[in-house]
Amino acid sequence: MTSAIDQDAAAAVSAAVDALSGRRIAILTGAGVSTDSGIPDYRGNGAPTRTPMTVEQYLSSEDHRRRYWVGSHLGWKAFAAAAPNPGHLAIARLEERGLATGVVTQNVDGLHVRAGSRRVVELHGTMRRIFCTQCGQVFDRRDMAVRVEADNPWITVPENVPLGPDGDVLPENTTGFLVPSCSVCEGMLKPDVVFFGEFIPAEKFREAEQLVRGSDALIIAGSSLVVNSGIRLLDRARRRRLPIVIVNRGATRGDSRATVKIEAGTSEVFAMLAESLPAL
Ligand SMILES: [Zn+2]
């Protein structure tokens, strides 16, 4: 696997090992860590442009909700079939060895949790949970999927339809689809994910800040840092003069502020770091 990275990247990895050694590391991840699991990064090179549904559209229109639920259900099935990759597994190993304090992720795919990471702050929420907007009852996505299939037995994953990073695939036809409602109060359900146009809950961001505050270094991986929360966490670390390592193929908004920038795939780099970083 180490053969997959070039000489410059290998030199950057050893510089990162020097900068990170003896420190407890917070890790911030974006869509780039999940691409090796077959989940595309819609901000990466050559990604198709997409217009995500806004929370206003979802909350105000039954038609939008129907479209959302068909796509979200099909996307969930594809996500559930995806497996954690060597990057997710190496991150979990770093935490197990006491070198990583935890992971803050912008991804909603749940792959860090499935890889065995224990302290995971899911900034944008998770597809695993659904909640009722009226009574607050929380539902497990797997149970909801069973209900959706029972109500809509004709629903299938269309062939060659691109899987979106939020687990939404473009539905071909949504006519007749029965949108699930709360089994307690019949209220409107909403997946526990931050929609386009929605803010990250303040307590979620505080949790991420706390994780960075309790660490002596920060790795940012697989994110171009287009999302502001990532830049804000980077600045928190920078103010405390912590070493900051950025792992990403392509430029990011944080490159000029990084101690070390590694231009390589996150799976390869985390596998190397998990192998090379000495015990504390
Ligand atoms: Zn309810």
Q: 193-222, pLDDT tens digit by residue?
A: 998 888 999 999 999 999 999 999 999 999
Residue 115 near residue 29 (C-beta atoms within 8 A):
no
Rounded distance from Cα 167 to ligand 1 centre (Å): 24
Rounded distance from Cα 166 to ligand 1 centre (Å): 24
Annotated active-site positions, please? 124
Place of tokens 């954690």: 84
Rounded distance from Cα 191 to ligand 1 centre (Å): 13
Q: Is this prediction's pTM over 0.85?
A: yes
Rounded distance from Cα 261 to ligand 1 centre (Å): 47
Per-residue pLDDT for 2 more than 50?
Answer: no
145 contacts: CB under 8 Å, gap ≥ 6: 73, 76, 77, 80
Rounded distance from Cα 224 to ligand 1 centre (Å): 38
Rounded distance from Cα 187 to ligand 1 centre (Å): 5
Q: What is the pLDDT of residue 162?
A: 58
Per-residue pLDDT for 270 more than 90?
Answer: yes
Amino acid at 40: P
Residue 53 near residue 44 (C-beta atoms within 8 A):
no
Of 33-42, 83-92, 160-169, give the lowest mean pLDDT range.
Answer: 160-169
* Segment of 3-17, 173-187, 262-276 carrying the highest mean pLDDT: 262-276
Rounded distance from Cα 252 to ligand 1 centre (Å): 41
What band does 151 get if pLDDT is binned at 50, 70 and 90? very high
What band does 74 get if pLDDT is binned at 50, 70 and 90? confident
pLDDT tens-digit readout, 215-226 = 999 999 999 998
Rounded distance from Cα 201 to ligand 1 centre (Å): 21
Rounded distance from Cα 183 to ligand 1 centre (Å): 7
Token pair in block for residue 243:
């070493």
Range 162-191 average pLDDT? 79
Q: Cα–Cα distances in Å, from 59 out to 35, 70, 187, 235?
A: 30, 16, 12, 34
Across the strands, what pairs with 26?
Answer: 102, 218
